[in-house]
Amino acid sequence: MNELVPSDEMRPGDDFLVVLQEVAARFGADATRPRELPALAELARLVDNHAPLDAIAATFRRLAFDGYLRGAMTTVAESMLASPRGELGLLLARELVDAIDPPLGLALARAALTLPAVVNKRHEIGSVYARLHLLVADTLMERGDLAQARRYFEAVLALDIDHSQAAHEYQNYLRRLEARGVETRHQSRGLALLDGLDEVELERNLAGGRYELGRPLGRGRHAVVYEAFDRHVGRHVALKRLLGTKGPRGRASLRVIEQRFFAEARTLAKVRSPYVVALLDAQPQHHFVALDLCRGGNLRSALRRGQVDGASLTRVADQLHRALNAVHAAGAVHRDVKPANILVRDTQPESPIALADFGLALDPNPGRVDVAGTLRYLAPEVRRGEAPSPASDHFGAGVVLLEIALCPEPLPAAFDLLDATGDDLTTALPRTLSPASRRMITGLLDPDPSQRKWS
């Protein structure tokens, strides 16, 4: 995005509202809305009522983990337009700079620093003022803009010379200069030559320059997806790169994430279907895989823009059925069948779908299984703690097809209840459904997995 620069007529903090509007516009079109998901409505209520930051952040993280990051970001951004909060600006800025849209995150963090409530806390130890400065400095470091980064590190140290994180990061900054042959006692010399070196190094790491990195397409909890160009074969691909952040339990958690990331590649390598995203390349040493590029976004965004609707139900059902047959024939269970994990190959009407995101996929007999996935798409037996199976994937497909049948109306609230019964989940079938479609969805949502079937 272009740099958002406040005009002379703007009051302090007004530029923060400008960037918030940009965040809402950028991500709102494809985002789930509060009226469609009770958890998002709860997030909006917490922000509107100025709930403690911990409560808001915890709800935000749960939504992001369940695949509703865009909805959570849009909800917080729109709610803050009436009452800006620097701490929430920091929350959104961190998500943005973590690969979703770093320039927009940088603009938001910088704009948050103009809020009077943030400026008034500049002398408080560990305040949002210091944390925003550190986020901006770290982001600028990642972009290779070391001259600008220095200013933000020093702004914190000028107020708190003992600030351990700022001092540590500032030392990293000096070491990076020295490693590149820059005299740190004269830090202004030659800094322009350092701009963009991080991007060059990233390109070199992408299999020896085979891939030309393009725009980011999306981000999950542990990975970011870019559009990229494969120079070897002359085609555009989706490049999914594992983020380098550690999990909440440190190195052990990070190892588990890496194992799951490349287990996804091994699963995809075994699946053969035009309705499943194909694995094109895997580079464990560089922490990325290359996949089919689907330009139509995911099924949720296709439903929003009207590319997929009730008239598409039979076609999508047939393709999703074929995709799951291929997955199960390969000896895997997807575990997370939902609109966000079903891609549309192109933006044209009636473009085929492709099942994606096998990060939770597993062998049907894995031993101990943790409950994972998104609640509203989980089969009743999985909600009770039983092992996922092909039948539980069929249940998730049934929920997806019900969403298509109901569109633009949201799923009933019962799907978000942990103890919902089979009757709760099948009473929402539209009366306009054909008998065949009604039988199919009812069969897929059968509470008994042994009776669950496509028909």
By annotation, the residues acting in catalysis are: 336
Q: How far apart are CA 353 and CA 299, in angstroms?
A: 8
CB 312 within 8 A of CB 348: no
252 contact partners, CB below 8 Å, separation of at least 6: none
CB 72 within 8 A of CB 30: no
241 contact partners, CB below 8 Å, separation of at least 6: 223, 224, 225, 226, 287, 288
Helices 53-65 and 86-95, packing angle to 10 deg: 20
What 3-state DSSP class applies to 178?
helix
Q: How far apart are CA 214 and CA 227, in angstroms?
A: 5
Q: How far apart are CA 166 and CA 223, in angstroms?
A: 27
| Residue found by looking up tokens 């865009």 in the block | 70
Q: How far apart are CA 80 and CA 368, in angstroms?
A: 43
Q: Terminus-to-terminus CA distance in the chain, angstroms?
A: 48
Count of CB atoms situated within 10 Å of the CB of 10: 14
Four-residue CA torsion sign, 266, 343, 312, 407? positive
- Nearest partner of 334 among 286, 253, 264, judged by Cα: 264
What 3-state DSSP class applies to 110?
helix
Task: Give the pair of three-digit tokens for residue 384.
Answer: 């009770």
Long-range contacts of 429-436 (CB under 8 A, 24+ apart): 429/402, 429/405, 430/310, 430/405, 430/406, 432/310, 433/405, 436/314
